[in-house]
Amino acid sequence: MSDGSLVLVVEDQDNMRAIAEAMLTRSGYRVPLASDGVAALTQHERHAAEERALLLDWTISLLDGEGALREPRRRDAACR
């Protein structure tokens, strides 16, 4: 079980996003969701200080997985 850590889930398929959310929530994680790369950046900016992990679909729309990983690092060198 988690201590309430935050895991950002980025998945464009509704059913896969729901499954990931349910599994992580049941395990005690807080789970903000994003359905595309632009929404992922918005969620990351909102939760960056408490985000502990990222579950990312590499082929998401609007901004692919690589871009969704690259952009926060470009904006904040401390982001890993």
Q: What is the pLDDT of residues 31-57, one digit of tens each?
A: 999 998 889 889 988 998 888 888 888
**Interatomic CA distance for residues 29 and 15, integer angstroms:** 19
Does the reported pTM lie above 0.75? yes
Q: Tell me how many domains the chain contains.
A: 1
Q: What is the domain extent for residue 33? A: 6-75
**Interatomic CA distance for residues 63 and 30, integer angstroms:** 24
CATH code, domain carrying 64: 3.40.50.2300
Q: Name the nearest CA neighbour of 78 among 54, 48, 55.
A: 48
- pLDDT tens across 59-73, in order? 776 666 677 666 666
Q: How many CB atoms lie within 10 A of CB 57?
A: 22
Q: Within a domain: residue 59?
A: yes
